[in-house]
Amino acid sequence: MQVGFELNGEHLDLDVEASVSLADLLHSRLAAASVHLGCEQGVCGACAVLVDEEAVRSCLMLAVQADGRRVTTAEGVARRRGGRWSEVEAALVGKGAFQCGFCTSGVVVALEELLAGDEPLTREDVVEQLSGQICRCTGYVPILDAFVSLLASTGRMREEGGR
Amino acid sequence: MKFPPFGYLRPTGLPEACEMLAEEGARPLGGGQSLLPLMALRLARPRTLVDLGALEELVGTSRSVSAGEEVLEIGAMTTLSAVEHDRTACSAVPLLSRIVRFIGHPAIRHRGTLGGSIAHADPAAELPAACIALDASASIASRRGSRSERVEALVTGPYQTSLREDELVTGLCFPIRPGRRTGVWEVAPRPGDFALAGAICVVYPEHSGPAGAAVTFFGVQAKPSRVTLDVEGAAGEGGGRYFQDLADSLEGVLEDGHADDRFRRRLAAVAARRAFAAARGCPPEVGA
Amino acid sequence: MGPAAPRPALRPGPGRGRHTRGGGRYVADLVTSGTLVIGFVRSSFARARLGQVDLSRVRSSPGVVAAYGAGDLEGLLRPLPVRFGPGKLYDWHLLAKGSVCFVGEPIALVVGVDRGSVEEACELAEVDYEPLEPILDLDSARSAGAGLVREEAGSNVVFLASKGSGDVEAALASAEVVVDRVFHLARQSACPLENRGVLAEDESLSGELVVCSSTQIPHILRTAVSTVLGRPEGSVRVVVPDVGGGFGLKCQVAAEECLVAWAACHLGRRVVWLEDRWENLVASNHAHDEQVHLRVGFASDGTITAVDAEVTVDVGAHSCYPLSVALEPSSTAAHLFGSYRVPEARVRSLGVATNKCPTGAYRGVGGSVANFATERSLDEAARALGMSRLEIRRRNLLQLADMPYAHPIGGLVDTGDPRMVLEELVGGLDPEAPWLAAIQSLEPAPSPAEGEALLGVGLVVFGEHSSPGSEVYRSRGVTEVPGYDAASVELLEDGTFAVYLSSADAGQGHGDVCRQQVADVLGVAAGDVTVVEGDTGRCPRGTGTFASRFAVAQLSAALRASARLSSRLVEAAAARLSCEVDEVKRDGEVFSSGSGDERVSLKELARWLYVPDSGRLGRSLEVPFAESGYWDDGPTLPTCAMLALVEVDPETFQARVRRIAALEECGRVLDEAVVLGQLRGGIVMGIGDALLEEHRYSETGDLLTSTFMDYLVPTASDVPRLDLRVLDDDRLHSRRSESGAKGVGEAGTIGAVGAVGCALAEAVRAAGGSLDELPGTPLRLFRSCASQGAEGSGVLR
């Protein structure tokens, strides 16, 4: 199958078997090392990528379904923001929000999706988004704290009453 | 956990899709959030996938009048995220955006589709139950023509529907009922997980449609079931007992490692009571 | 091919910033084009005689290069000797031979061009099974006529040990109160986010077999691989790339690791096996699955008079290598009442084989259930005696004045003050907080009003048996675990240092801690120290990374090596400066002679040593200019006190942890951020163990929890507010480790299982229930109340 899509800002035309997942295409054929396979069951979020502006599980998407779409992996997140480091990456690094690192690039993608919006967010919103990403090392706290601080510094944080 | 090999077709129009689905072993692919995990586990092996992703005509929401009643129509390939944030859907049938938030996580809702969820007919899924609770009908197409069927009749069992091999769901049609009030409650091990038991309650205004209230259970039996409520009994002093009796009267309650028969009936009763309270506490729908 | 994204130019912090954009290098990232991919035909039966395994259709399937069953390996691959108890070795055939004993057991190895082709081909294997009735629980395993899970063992009780002293029965008979209960912890598994993975290549150039594995025990893996291949150890090199979490799972050698190494040699190709999540859940070692029967006697003043314990572990279908079936039963036994004065105690620990996945280590090991059982018993006794839960602990906790304390079942406690740890925790609490009242109260919490959440507070104080040395493993009859760790530190020609460690990092951040500690001893900047670990080709032999070994065993070895090297530097400087050793003065990186006229910098000294301008002056100046260090000084015992506040929905029995407060005393704190990181991560993992994580089998022995949709691990929404503090008190530092550190890897998990478990028990008590089993799933909490007839009480409707 012919498939054409944009990966981290560059257009690609490829021939891909229909049964190949987007995750396998990205990791095994396109050297996007950030796309980790943690479960291939659509649960852990380690393979998260942005398709257009939405974070999706790339293990639950066929590569051919990316045809005509804009795919951004963690490698491309900083580039699309025009910097060497994205705000999310800098926030996570600043708080030491990882140990083994296997979940980290998926977390970056999921949080990048949240940051790219413009509506004010509560801590609960961040928890909801992050609850789709499994981390076995950190206990999530430093990740949450890092992102909430980032939101607060950009005036995007909204207090939730009663919680 | 790799997908078994399959043929892949990507029609660009509905008639083409119907032709493709008429071939033996072809199966429609919506968002893939249910079908692809099954294929990765090799529990499903379709010969050909007909990817509906390019069928723009199956995406979006609109309001119209059908058989003298105002309805909300949602294309089958509309994603759950789109339903969640769609203004037309939110104002016409507010339950939809509320219930969609119980489904998986945002990344799943970005890909998962309304039509796919109905056709998959997971007994623990929220949307088939919501469609039943809201009297929705599915529009169904095949090479042989199109038809419409109430979702209540369409879902026949666990992962079973009355859809023929060559048919696909093209959209859902929800009657808009001003004055209606709805509530939903579910018990899941973690937020986003499939429900151990859930209930949707619809309280109808006295002047229109079927009077009273009904509760639709999901995750409790092999398929969602709707039960009419005695509003006085449900709202009265012994409401807890009323809902437990109601749950105890259900047949074929599922048993698994998360809940045995007795516990699931209890959860169903609690979910129904809380959904009922939520419905009564929610402002009536304005339908605008 | 798409362009690879540029690697980050900026690497803030310790270099782990690369992880934000895929800069890690895990096994899956080492696959190159042309690497062959391995998959396994796995048993569909829990217990069956194995007839013919016909792989002809597999071999002719598209994309398949080769396929092997046990028969094909005859004479080519030796079995791995694994053990039940002391002296009881048996042959572990890495592909099932003659019989299968759990669902998921590898039967055939299939090599192909990609994983999809291999999985497709595996379905074509024709295996003759003659199914037998599977043995799936402790009762049936011990019933007469059940048959044997492992013929070699001669019994389904494959491990039996006892420990203790004194006349326990007499003490129990005269006790004021005896708590007699059975506690359970379900079958669980570690589930690191990165599954196992192994890539191997027999390099024709060097003649070295290179095995890249996501393992915590590179040296032990090398021993296993060289044993099964019959190759000299020196020709096998195990390299550990980035590891996406281990948590104990990866401190067992997997059959697949050895088989992949064999296939690489046999085929002369680079081969890889990347375990998937289904394989990981079905066939990679599980853990726990045990019951602890405690009888604990108390005097009227709350003093513990005697403990009698029986620990029974369902160890599954095989022993594991290297820790063996001794692991969980021994560890559970050793942790019981570990922080308390226990005059008389005895424990019997059993490992019972069943037709389920073999078990091994998972963070916390036996400490988790031991903590829950210990502290639940104390809560029960406090209630029976009309004491507060705080008071009963105060009366029994060990104090510094008791040290060293010969614990009858836990072994020698060399230092620590559990009582002080408890007081520090309690003293630091907000006096208004509801949990303070709960642990000080003489009465159980009153039943809440109808519809209100059931609240429960759990309090635990426990020690974590960290970093066992060789003595502990030998006492369990285990000879596959060395017990020591080793390091070497080398001065390089450019004046910087390299440290070679026997451990393997799995994300804990070893490198950063070690670099700083070694640099401090050597008197150089941390940037001048390179830390190398996880490579048997370069690093000294040792045990590996588990049981909180790093800060104790591994770092001690590195510090000893560094101290020796530091002295040798002075000797070298004396030779260079032509003065006596005791005349050498050192100021930062500059050495000078007594008179101060002659000076040499560290860099000049290194250059002089490595590029000599004349013959040597003595052996101590020969290169490599390196020193080694070694540690085998027995276990340390960090102490932790933890409080948990949980709420339970009185109708749906859904539980949520609201708050956890903990105080950790782990000797000298080397890096507080790392300590807190281990605690936090461990606590959330323990919350999973206490609330969510549970493997379940069907009546036919099929695993029902073979996806992440069914085996539930904690997510961000399960995280409570955490108030964590660390106590660093000189008097409590370990004398057994060079730095004074005691290790911190498992306290969070052990503590959370106990504290959350006890809190749940208190919460359901308010509804008339009694909880002795974890995890406290809604169903289990419901049953704990329903079985007490509490369902009809005022709280529940």
When pLDDT is averaged across residues C524-543 and rounded to a whole number, the result is: 96
> At B277, is the secondary structure helix, strand, or coil?
helix
- A8 CB within 8 Å of a chain B CB: no
B53-74 tens-digit pLDDT: 999 999 999 999 988 899 999 9
Q: Which of A24, A45, A54 sits opposite B110 (nearest CB)?
A: A54
Indicate whether C497 and C582 sit together in one domain.
yes
Distance from CA of B251 to the nearest CA of A (A): 32
Q: How many CB atoms lie within 10 A of CB A161?
A: 6
Q: C-contacting residues of B 179-198, CB under 8 Å?
A: 187, 189-194, 196
d(CA C354, CA C314): 7
Q: Are B28 and B80 members of one domain?
A: no
CA–CA min distance B269, chain C (Å): 9
Which residues in chain B are contacts of A1 at CB distance < 8 A?
8
Q: Do B37 and A57 make contact, defined as CB atoms within 8 angstroms?
A: no
Query: Is the domain of B151 the same as that of B99?
Result: yes
Shared domain check, C625 and C640? no
C697 and C744 inside one domain: yes
Is 70 exceeded by the pLDDT of residue C594?
yes
* pLDDT at C142 > cutoff 80: yes
Contact C692 B189 (CB under 8 A): yes
Cβ distance of A33 and C29 shorter than 8 Å: yes
Domain count, chain C: 3
d(CA C376, CA C79): 43
C593 and C520 in a common domain? yes
Task: State whether A42 and B36 contact (CB < 8 Å).
Answer: yes
C492 pLDDT more than 80: yes
**Is residue C325 included in any domain, yes or no?**
no
User: Do B93 and B187 share a domain, yes or no?
Assistant: no
For domain A83-153, give its CATH number from 1.20.120.790, 1.20.140.10, 3.40.50.300, 1.10.150.120.
Answer: 1.10.150.120
Angle in degrees, CA C659, C664, C665, rounded to 5: 165
What pLDDT, in 10s, does the model give residues B12-64? Answer: 999 999 999 999 999 999 999 999 999 999 999 999 999 999 999 999 999 99
Which of the other chains make 3 or more beta carbon contacts under 8 angstroms with chain B? A, C
Kindly state whether residue C460 falls inside one of the protein's structural domains: yes
Q: Say whether C396 sits in a helix, a strand or coil.
A: helix
Number of other residues whose CB lies within 10 A of the CB of residue C35: 17
Query: For the segment B142-198, what is each residue's pLDDT rounded down to a tens digit?
Result: 999 999 999 999 999 999 999 999 999 999 999 999 999 999 999 999 999 999 999
Does A129 contact chain B (CB < 8 Å)? Answer: yes
Structure confidence at residue C3 (pLDDT) = 36
B48: domain CATH number?
3.30.43.10
User: Is B102 within a domain?
Assistant: yes
Is pLDDT above 70 for C797? no
Question: In this model, does residue C684 exceed pLDDT 70?
Answer: yes
SS3 C670: coil
Per the structure block, which two tokens stand in for C458? 């759990």
Q: Are residues B100 and B114 in the same domain?
A: yes
Determine the topology of domain A2-77 in CATH: Ubiquitin-like (UB roll) (3.10.20)
Q: Does C13 touch chain A (CB under 8 A)?
A: yes
Q: Do A65 and B1 touch (CB under 8 A)?
A: no
Q: Does residue C1 sit within a domain?
A: no
Tell whether B1 lies on the interface with A, counting CB pairs under 8 A. Answer: yes
CA C438 to CA C140: how far, in whole Å?
A: 41
For residues B67 and B156, state if they share a domain: yes
Q: Average pLDDT for residues B217-221, to the nearest whole number?
A: 98
Residue A70 to chain B, least CA–CA distance (Å): 15
Confidence of residue C8 (pLDDT cuts 50, 70, 90): very low
DSSP H or E segment with residue B227: strand B225-229
Place of tokens 């018993």: C377
The enclosing domain of B112 has a CATH number of 3.30.465.10
Task: Assess B281–A contact: CB distance below 8 Å, yes or no.
Answer: no
- For chain C positions 69-128, those within 8 Å of chain A (CB to CB) are 116
**A29 has pLDDT over 60:** yes
Task: Tell me which residue in A41, A96, A135 faces C673 most closely, judged by beta carbons.
Answer: A96
Q: Could you tell me if C455 and C566 lie in one domain? A: no
CB contact under 8 A, A38 and C707: no
Confidence of residue C616 (pLDDT cuts 50, 70, 90): low
Residue closest to C756 by CA, chosen among C429, C459, C426, C463: C459
On whether residue C450 sits in a domain, the answer given is: yes
pLDDT attached to residue B288: 66
Residues C589 and C558 in one domain: yes
Say yes or no: B49 contacts chain A, CB-CB below 8 A: yes
Higher-confidence residue of B71 and C8: namely B71
Amino acid at C744: V
DSSP 8-class letter at A159? P
Question: How far, in Å, CA of B122 to CA of B219, rounded?
Answer: 8
Domain identity same for C424 and C529: no
Residues C385 and C492 in one domain: no
Residue B38 within any structural domain of the chain? yes
For residue B36, list chain A residues with Cβ-Cβ distance below 8 A.
21, 42, 60-62
Region C653-661 average pLDDT: 97
Q: Which of B41, B191, B266 sits opposite C278 (nearest CB)?
A: B41
A contacts of B40 (beta carbons < 8 Å): 40-41, 59
- Which amino acid, one-letter code, is at C593? S
pLDDT at A118 over 70: yes
For residue B288, being part of any structural domain is answered with no
Choose the final residue of a domain: B175, B209, B232. Answer: B175
pLDDT confidence tier of residue C430, bands split at 50, 70 and 90: confident
β-strands C304-316, C197-203 pairing: unpaired
Mean pLDDT, residues B95-102 taken together: 96
pLDDT reading at B210 higher than 80: no
Q: Which residues contact B122 (CB under 8 A, 6 or more apart)?
A: B34, B128, B158, B159, B194
- Is C631 buried (19+), middle (13-18) or exposed (0-12) by CB count in 10 A? buried
Q: Which of C252, C283, C314 is the last residue of a domain?
A: C283
What is the distance between the alpha carbons of residues C351 and A25, in angstroms, rounded to a whole number?
A: 45
Q: B267 CB near a chain C CB, below 8 Å?
A: yes
In CATH, what number is assigned to the domain containing residue C377?
3.30.365.10
pLDDT at C739: 95
User: Nearest CB to C709: which of A43, A77, A128?
Assistant: A43
User: Which of C260, C283, C306 represents a domain boundary (last residue)?
Assistant: C283
Nearest CA in chain A to B7: A18
What is the pLDDT, as a whole number, of residue C15? 58
Give the end of a domain, one of B119, B145, B175. B175
A46 shares contact with chain C (CB less than 8 Å) = yes
Nearest-angstrom CA–CA distance, C672 and C76? 50
Mean pLDDT to the nearest integer, C578-596: 91
DSSP state of A25: I
pLDDT exceeds cutoff 80 at B7: yes
The residue in chain B having the minimum alpha-carbon distance to the alpha carbon of residue C783 is B263
Helix, strand, coil percentages for chain A (3-state, nearest 5)? 40, 15, 45
Task: Answer whether C129's CB lies under 8 Å from C119's CB.
Answer: no
Q: Are residues C516 and C620 in the same domain?
A: yes
Are both C492 and C590 inside the same structural domain?
A: yes
Closest CA to A144 of C201, C25, C198, C684: C684
Binned at pLDDT 50, 70 and 90, residue B225 comes out as very high
Interface test with chain C among B38, B263, B274, by most C beta carbons within 10 Å = B263
Whether residue C397 is contained in a domain is answered as yes
At residue B284, the 3 state secondary structure works out as coil
CB atoms A132 and B190 under 8 Å: no
Same domain, yes or no: B127 and B224: no
Is residue B2 one of the residues assigned to a domain? no
B152 and B185 together in one domain: no
Q: Nearest by CB to A74, which of C22, C509, C708?
A: C22
Same structural domain for residues C646 and C615? no
Q: Chains contacting A with at least 3 CB pairs below 8 Å? A: B, C
Q: Which domain holds residue C442?
A: 365-467+636-789
What does the alpha-carbon distance between residue B263 and residue B255 come to, in Å, rounded to a whole number? 9
**For residue C248, is it within any domain?**
yes
CB contact under 8 A, B107 and A41: no
Examine domains A2-77 and A83-153 and report if their fold is the same: no
Q: What is the extent of the structural domain holding B256? A: 181-281
Between A and C, how many residue pairs show a Cβ–Cβ distance under 8 A?
Answer: 197
Amino acid at B277: A
Question: Is the domain of B26 the same as that of B99?
Answer: no
Residue C45 lies in a domain: yes
Q: Is the separation of the CB atoms in B199 and B275 below 8 Å?
A: yes
**Residue B210 or A13, more confident:** A13
Stretch 49-68 of chain A: residues touching chain C, C-beta under 8 Å:
none
Of C115, C652, C654, the CB nearest to B2: C115
- Domain borders along chain A are 2-77, 83-153
Average pLDDT, chain B: 95
Indicate the number of domains in chain B: 3
Residues C597 and C745 in one domain: no
How far is the C-alpha of C106 from the C-alpha of C111, rounded, in Å? 14
The answer to whether C31 faces chain A, any CB pair under 8 Å, is yes
If you count residue pairs, one on A and one on B, with CB atoms under 8 Å apart, how many are there?
87
**Do C795 and C451 form a contact (C-beta atoms < 8 A)?**
no
C neighbour chains, 3+ CB pairs within 8 Å = A, B
Q: How far apart are CA C337 and CA B157, in angstroms?
A: 53
Q: What is the mean pLDDT of residues C398-417?
A: 95
